[in-house]
Structure 1
Amino acid sequence: MDYSLIDADGHYYEPDDCFSRHIEARYRDATVQVRRGADGLGRVFLGGRRTFMSVMPGDYASAPGALQGLFMGEVADGFTHREVINAKDHPEFTHRAARLALMDTQGVEATLMLPTLAVAVEQDMVGDVELTYASLRAFNRWLEEDWGYSAQNRIFAVPMLSLLDLDQAMAELRRVLDAGARLVHLRPGPVGGRSPAHPDLDPFWAAVAEAGVPVVFHVSNSGYNLAYGTLWSEDPANPSHLQSPLQWALCNTERPIVDTLTALTLHNLFGRHPNVRVVSIENGSNWVRPLLKNVDKAAALGRRGPALGGSLPARPSEVLAEHLWVCPFPEDDVRDLITVLGPERVLFGSDYPHPEGLRHPADFVGLLEGCDEVTTRRVLRGNIAELLGIPDRRPAARPA
């Protein structure tokens, strides 16, 4: 290739003070804290309670791509940790300058940067709205300080937002936009017992549409252990590393994003806000084809029922496909996703440096074998460049 990659799914490992460094004094003892034991591992607490992410994920992690073979069919001996690392020994996972240098060697021009710890703690705070917003504000200020929203136009960190309280959501949205955020994040799932597409929340969606800022839904702890796990004989208090197979199937993979996109579509968010763009990252893509079929079927079956967000079009699937960008897992059928959504809506993402991602971001290129050059370039850089509002520079013409 004569161009570099733009990665839609990159990660950092957070430091112990990512929530506490900039927290307002009255919330310091209540927000996310890390307590280190004699073994050196940081246990994660909210107030006096252990959280879903019970140990700091960078303290004891498998190396980048360590599980790639398992998920892509090359390893048959189960889900095991290999090549255990501590992120503190790898500054490229924790510091911006080192990451930029690594990106140069990887052929990665730019990357989105998403949380490791922070996507797992919002559910632990959901009963305290004020603490939720104080903690997210503090986290975003740390994010701005350590990584930046558009560092050298190469690292694009994504701030965390919540729709639990509209006024506070709007205030933090305006603040991060003023600070230069190119995308914002909402966790998948319902929000305080209501749909994220409820008309009461229209001011938020109108604001992101006007700003031209896409909304990212990245895999998170969406509270589905309470919503589903308890109905199926599972312990909702299981921490992240002790989730059962059924909890992974029902609570932590496809269901939250599928439910969320179904609600956005059938509650007619895109009809009310035609310029909203939503991006699914690290939720896989095998659900896309059946989802498009199911929203059309549901709209037909429910045509005589109440329409919370207004009347639906004849084929809601077509509207959803116009507003949705998807970053598939490496083990998914990427070419089938391109067939379903079109090459303009598929994004390359490595999940680097997480163990369930790719060992090297460029390993994704092989998943596009058989695609034409225009499609390949779109997926590997052009589509996310457009979402970020950065130029998709064309290579200089080669001399004859």
Structure 2
Amino acid sequence: MTVENERTADARVTDVHAHLLLPSIQAAVEARVPELVAEAAALELKRNGAESAAVSGPMVGARIPKLTSVTERLAAMDQQGVEVQWVSASPNHFYPWAPEGLAVWAANEANRLVAEHVAEAPDRLVGLGLVPLQHPERIVECLDDAVLGRGLAGVEISSFAGDVELSDERLEPFWARVAELGCVIFLHPFGCSLDERLDRFYLANTVGQPTENAVALSHFIFAGVLDRHPKLKIIAAHGGGYLPFAIGRSDHAWAVRPEAQRCAEAPSTYLKKIWFDTVVHSPTSLRHLIEVAGADRVVLGSDFPFDMGLDDPVAFVQGAGLSAEVAQRILAGNAADLLTGKVQA
């Protein structure tokens, strides 16, 4: 057995996609700007539809203990066979509509609360903080607060916020600082810009989330962000959405359209420079993701503890028809390498 294989075999089973609810932040935001919270709630209802809202409320309510209690979290992890969880705030804490001062406060407060949560079980939990994506001029200081101030492994960002896409030139200092710190960026959408077109059949989630992942990653790739910052460690939730499954169209556009040639190489090349979680719900999809991105670029995820996640994420990977070595890399080795920096750019 090689040294690399020994390291992979010794690594612990790690779920990189697990959420934390922060009710104290939500209450404080509601108290400070009730009118903006009401507008955001109306937009969420418009996007999701009344029928889905009526289902989602009780679903989340039933999971609040797992979303807030370390004891409940650890018990669920033990049942799943997960040894380590990377904990990130539930995306409803992104507040993409928040004005600058409130957005910075909420991000820094989230960083504090995430750090406190994972400190209750530091051998089992790893924290990811937040940054105010819609305020690029304040994002680096919040990143530093998360990573340097709170000891978190990185931050979670949405697919877009306000007028800020991941291709926005104003994010260049952020990407440079992320690369300098060697921390992780977890890309997880919140909401979908298609709005009421997805307001029935739970399309806001089933179609909206993978659409947002694909759009955000396309902005990131086509803008050449990875050409300028090749050491970035980006993990895309939900297997990167639709992009890995239609990447040939992106390559074709890059070959024939001059406006699509802002990146140095064909877009499919960059899939091997990004990491993707396993929340794809199909063994066939997981095997395809491994084929296009590489076995070293896929990491275990569950979307814990929501109903659209994987209740038994370890069994999902083990039952996908993968070799034992590939399965072990996905379950444990790749995430361990991300944290220790033992990855290839």
- TM-score norm. by structure 1 comes to 0.70
Query: Residue 158 of structure 1: SS of its match in structure 2?
Result: strand
Q: Distance in 2 between matches of 1:186 and 1:93?
A: 19
CA, structure 1 residues 95+46, in 2 after alignment: closer, same or farther (shift >3 Å)?
Answer: farther
Q: State the identity %.
A: 21
Q: Does 1:269 align with 2:225?
A: yes
Given that 2:84 and 2:124 are in contact with CA atoms closer than 8 Å, whether structure 1 keeps it comes out as yes
Instruction: Tell me the residue number matched to 2:152.
Output: 181
Listed one character per residue, the Cα deviations across residues 131-168 of structure 1 (whole Å, up to 9, x for unaligned) are 222222222222222334x9424211221213322331
Given that 1:285 and 1:328 are in contact with CA atoms closer than 8 Å, whether structure 2 keeps it comes out as no
- Which structure 2 residues correspond to residues 138-287 of structure 1 after superposition, within 5 A? 138-148=109-119, 151-178=121-148, 179-189=150-160, 191-222=161-192, 224=193, 228-229=194-195, 243-245=199-201, 247-248=203-204, 252-282=208-238, 285-287=241-243
Q: Which residue identity does 1:16 align to in structure 2?
A: P
- TM-score norm. by structure 2 comes to 0.80
Q: Distance in 2 between matches of 1:246 and 1:373?
A: 36
Q: Does 1:352 align with 2:304?
A: yes
CA displacement at 1:256 relative to structure 2? 1.1
- Worse overlay, 178-187 or 97-106: 97-106
Q: Which residue identity does 1:86 align to in structure 2?
A: A
Q: Distance in 2 between matches of 1:142 and 1:295?
A: 40
CA, structure 1 residues 317+390, in 2 after alignment: closer, same or farther (shift >3 Å)?
Answer: closer
CA displacement at 1:96 relative to structure 2? 1.7
Instruction: Tell me the residue number matched to 1:17.
Output: 24
Q: Which residue identity does 2:231 align to in structure 1?
A: N
Instruction: Tell me the residue number matched to 2:274.
Output: 324
Q: Distance in 2 between matches of 1:198 and 1:127?
A: 19
Instruction: Tell me the residue number matched to 1:29.
Output: 31
Query: Residue 138 of structure 2: SS of its match in structure 1?
Result: helix
Query: Residue 32 of structure 2: SS of its match in structure 1?
Result: coil
Instruction: Tell me the residue number matched to 2:62.
Output: 86
The structure richer in helix per residue is: 2
Listed one character per residue, the Cα deviations across residues 254-308 of structure 1 (whole Å, up to 9, x for unaligned) are 2211111111111111111111121111356554131x323322222332x497x
Q: Whose radius of gyration is greater, 1 or 2?
A: 1
Instruction: Tell me the residue number matched to 1:6.
Output: 14
Instruction: Tell me the residue number matched to 1:387.
Output: 338
Instruction: Tell me the residue number matched to 2:77.
Output: 103
Count of residues in correspondence between the two structures: 324
Q: Distance in 1 between matches of 2:243 and 2:281?
A: 13
Query: Residue 349 of structure 1: SS of its match in structure 2?
Result: coil
List gaps (5 residues or longer) in structure 1: 33-44, 63-84, 235-242, 392-400
CA displacement at 1:246 relative to structure 2? 8.2
Listed one character per residue, the Cα deviations across residues 82-111 of structure 1 (whole Å, up to 9, x for unaligned) are xxx7335x4x44222442344345432101
CA displacement at 1:329 relative to structure 2? 2.5
Q: Distance in 2 between matches of 1:193 and 1:2?
A: 44
Q: Which residue identity does 2:229 align to in structure 1?
A: H
CA, structure 1 residues 277+146, in 2 after alignment: closer, same or farther (shift >3 Å)?
Answer: closer
